[in-house]
């Protein structure tokens, strides 16, 4: 996948949150790297099962994680799913796009720790 198509995570919020402490930053990134794949699976499976409560849970957790590590480009999309997945005709396509951006961000972030 071409990483140039997707914005790299903006770590400025994380730097501010950790006051620039590299170890704290790496710890938060590591948590994201562990949690994000689980949340992506939960999001995909709950959408396929029309379990909108579980989808809301997954997207809520994901919004926080994405914000911490600066994957800001898809936060509005995840928030939309969080608040209105029941009425979305293109829910699966939206989730697939989100997953691609997160996977690219994971690849980038792995290189930092």
Mean pLDDT of the chain: 92
Rounded to 5°, angle at Cα 48 from 46 and 54: 15
Tens digits of residue pLDDT in 20-55: 999 999 999 999 999 999 999 999 999 999 999 999
Cβ count within 10 A of residue 13: 14
Q: What is the pLDDT of residue 36?
A: 96
For residue 84, pLDDT over 50 is answered with yes
Tens digits of residue pLDDT in 53-73: 999 999 999 999 999 999 999
Q: What is the pTM of this model?
A: 0.89
For 108, residues 6+ apart whose C-beta sits below 8 A from its C-beta are 3, 8, 9
Rounded to 5°, angle at Cα 85 from 108 and 5: 25
Maximal CA-CA distance, the chain? 43
In the chain, % of residues over pLDDT 90: 88
Q: What is the pLDDT of residue 7?
A: 84
């Amino acid at each position: 996948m071409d990483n140039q198509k997707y914005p790299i995570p903006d770590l400025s919020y994380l730097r501010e949150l950790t006051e620039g402490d590299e170890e704290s930053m790496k710890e938060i990134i590591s948590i994201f790297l562990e949690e994000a794949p689980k949340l992506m699976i939960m999001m995909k499976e709950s959408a396929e099962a029309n379990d909108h409560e579980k989808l809301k849970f997954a997207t809520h957790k994901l919004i926080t994680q994405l914000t911490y590590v600066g994957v800001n480009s898809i936060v509005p999309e995840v928030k939309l799913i969080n608040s209105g997945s029941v009425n979305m005709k293109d829910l699966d396509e939206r989730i697939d796009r989100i997953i691609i951006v997160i996977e690219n961000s994971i690849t980038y972030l792995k290189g930092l720790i």
